[in-house]
Amino acid sequence: MDPINVDFGNKSVMPETPKGSTVKKVIVSLILTVVLGAVLYYVMLPALNFKALELYIYIGVLIMAYIGIFGMLSQAYFRPEYMEYAKNKAKVPIVMILVLAAFVGIGYLTGVEFFRAKDYAELINVKEGNFAEEIEEVDFQSVPRLDKDSSNMIATRALGELSDYVSQFVVNSYYSTQINYKGTPVRVQSLDYGDIFKWLKNTKEGIPAYIIVDMTTQKAETVRLDEGMKYSPAEHFNEYLIRHVRFKYPSLMLGDPSFEIDETGRPFWIVPVLDKTIGLFGGTDVQGAIIVDSINGDTTLVSTSLDGTTNLPTDKFVTDKEFQWLDQVYSATIVNQQYNYYGKYNNGFINSLIGQENVRVTSQGYNYLALNDDVYMYTGVTSISSDQSIIGFVLINQRTKEAVYYQQPGALEETARTSAQGKVQQYGYRATFPILLNVSGEPTYFMALKDSSELVKMYAMVNVEQSTLVGVGTSLAECTESYAAELEKNGVNVEVDVDSMGQEEAPDEPKEETVEVSGTVEEIRSTITGGETYFYIKLADNLSYYKVAVKDAEKIVILNVGDKITFTVDKKATDQIIPVKSVK
């Protein structure tokens, strides 16, 4: 018996359409998306530049927002029968997202290192130099003796001495910039509002001061301003630094700002202008800077290659006296990355993976060196196949990007730090990242030795070629004499004019006010950190814990709850955990 065929026709089922005009829904969705776009632009601040990845993210978010708004107006999220209708109307926006993603993907591929290795290697021009001939013997009067953490600690203590500031403002440790100020290496530190309520109270007058920390004398100066700084990263709304700059230069890609002062002491923010020089998103480089007066918000664009908006040609950007005070145009992150591209790809991408002839990279860390009234980033250079020693080091000018490589085999910076710390292991001091000095023709690592409170206690010098040759001392003169004696023992004679170092205070004698705190022991806790044992002791009727290192007070281990004890501490210490100077 033949089967019975029933023809139901070839009619397609149409999606159910919600009430109301589709055109009206589209128009309302577009209007709401534009409003949302304005708010997002104010918050995200993308550069209106086709090389800026954040612009594509911004556009993608807006398209997704349009789809979401249209779906809500169509009630598709509440009435499943309308979902097919919403999906049909979202086809064009979805295609736009796919096209956008494809464009970004192609743009990324045009700048990948595999295809453009030579271009990456040419981002920075590196010259070969001679250490003994080109690096002048150290001027001990201008040797920086602090790192960023110690500088922040000193700045915080200096701010604490100003009763009218300490309750309203805090030191902004992120914006701590090493510059040359009147021929002296210093760190300039901006302040931040203590909290949102203190911002509301003080924003009209702005930030009233900044702090200068002398890297050689370790002294801090709080500079009060006649007019407060009204434009900074600490502000909100239109006075927020990047928003203020973005509204004036909507198409420029901006780097991280740095805080600097000119030779008169006037505070400025230096905002690098970035460019993507390889493909669409590759080869980040600096093509200029925007100088923002932090007090009145005036901006000056100093450009090396912005056609049509160039204030100064390239040569004047480097040599014009008006801008010689600039020290941090090229960030250490960018120049360090560019040197690594140069070191890895100077013989091609394949060579960086196979063979690796003459492939070299920077060591894990960097520091800053003051030379010729400019600031240079210093870092060691090591073979990519070995991380146990350096084969040389590179100095890169952070204003001009002039880079010089010096061939100098020797110990890696971390090895030198370990040698220095081993020399004073009984104290448990930590070494800062080294600075490279020329001591009578001998390449020498110099570093400060700090305690757990970030106070500089001693100094160390380590020979680059022979890291076992170490000199230490509580003053720079004592350290240098110790280093010279160590070299002489091993047949290396150096002449050091100790008198040229001037009279300096030993770093382990900081001038600070102390106070005695006595009481009955209520609670005892202990921990081991970095191989050292610390006791945390709470006294009756006292909310703080007092931190004592066993190496500094051995009898602390036999202390019991109920015992009487007296601590000597910093007079201004108010934290929940307070380091102890001495114990009775």
Average pLDDT for residues 324-337, to the nearest whole number?
A: 91
Q: pLDDT tens digits, residue range 482-497?
A: 998 888 888 776 666 5
Residue 193: pLDDT over 90: yes
Cα 195 to Cα 56, 191, 227, 577: the distances in Å are 34, 12, 21, 22
Q: Given this model, what pLDDT does residue 554 score?
A: 78
**What is the pLDDT at residue 39?**
97
300, 329 contact by CB (below 8 A): no
Look at residue 387 in the predicted model and tell me its pLDDT. Answer: 65
Local confidence band at 262 (pLDDT 50, 70, 90 cut-offs): very high
Q: Is 127 exposed, middle or buried (0-12, 13-18, 19+ CB in 10 A)?
A: exposed
Quickly state the pLDDT bin for 184 (edges 50, 70, 90): confident
pLDDT at residue number 9? 47
**In the predicted model, is pLDDT for residue 136 greater than 90?**
no
Counting Cβ atoms within 10 Å, is residue 2 exposed (0-12), middle (13-18) or buried (19+)? exposed
**434: nearest Cα among 399, 393, 396:** 393
E-assigned strand segments in 464-544: 470-473, 514-529, 532-539
Does residue 37 register a pLDDT over 50? yes
Stretch among 170-179, 309-318, 333-342, 461-470 having the lowest mean pLDDT: 309-318
What letters, b where the CB count within 10 A reaches 16 and e where it falls short, cover 37-53? beebeeeebbbebebbb
Instruction: Give the percent of the chain with pLDDT over 70.
Output: 90
Mean pLDDT computed over every residue of the chain: 86
User: Using an 8 Å Cβ cutoff, are 579 and 452 in contact?
Assistant: yes
Q: Check whether 426 has a pLDDT greater than 80.
A: yes
Highest-confidence range of 35-44, 410-419, 453-462, by mean pLDDT? 35-44
- Is 492 strand, coil or helix? coil
The neighbour count for residue 561, using CB atoms within 10 Å, is: 12
Model pLDDT for residues 88-107, shown as the tens digit of each residue? 888 999 999 999 999 999 99
Confidence of residue 213 (pLDDT cuts 50, 70, 90): very high
- What helix, strand, coil percent values describe the chain, rounded to 5? 30, 30, 35
pLDDT band for 138, please (50, 70, 90 cuts): confident
The answer on pLDDT for 249 being more than 50 is: yes
Question: Phi/psi class of residue 283: alpha, beta or left (left: φ > 0; alpha: ψ in -120 to 50)?
Answer: left
pLDDT category at 519 given cuts 50, 70, 90 is confident
Give 20 or 171, the one with higher predicted confidence.
Answer: 171
Q: How far apart are the first and last CA of the chain?
A: 112
Residue 504: what pLDDT?
53
Q: Give the whole-angstrom CA distance, residue 271 versus residue 386.
A: 37
Query: How many angstroms separate the CA atoms of 425 and 460, rounded?
Result: 13
> 345-354, 357-366, 528-537 — which is least confidently predicted?
528-537
502, pLDDT greater than 80? no
pLDDT computed for residue 293 by the predictor: 97
What average pLDDT does the segment 183-189 reach? Answer: 91
Contact (Cβ atoms closer than 8 angstroms) between residue 60 and residue 100: yes
How many CB atoms are located within 10 Å of the residue 466 CB? 16
Distance between CA atoms of 137 and 446, rounded to whole angstroms?
Answer: 13
What amino acid is encoded at 416 in this protein? A
Average pLDDT for 287-300: 93
Q: What is the number of other CB atoms lying within 10 angstroms of the CB of residue 353? A: 11
Please, which pLDDT band fits residue 388 given cuts at 50, 70 and 90? confident
pLDDT of residue 498: 56
Q: Which residues contact 378 (CB under 8 A, 6 or more apart)?
A: 366, 367, 368, 369, 393, 394, 395, 435, 436
pLDDT score at 373: 82
268 and 261 Cβ atoms separated by less than 8 Å: yes
Name the more confident of 7 and 392: 392
Distance CA 294, CA 269 (A): 6
List the structure tokens of 344.
Answer: 């890895």
Flag whether pLDDT at 312 surpasses 50: no
How far, in Å, are 243, 322, 372 from residue 396 at the CA level?
30, 22, 13
Pair of tokens at residue 445: 């690592």
Q: Are 51 and 103 in contact (CB under 8 A)?
A: no
Which pair of tokens denotes residue 60? 């993608």
Q: What is the pLDDT of residue 304?
A: 60
Per residue in 149-176, pLDDT (tens digit) is: 889 888 988 887 777 776 889 998 888 9
- Number of helical H runs and strand E runs in the chain: 15, 26
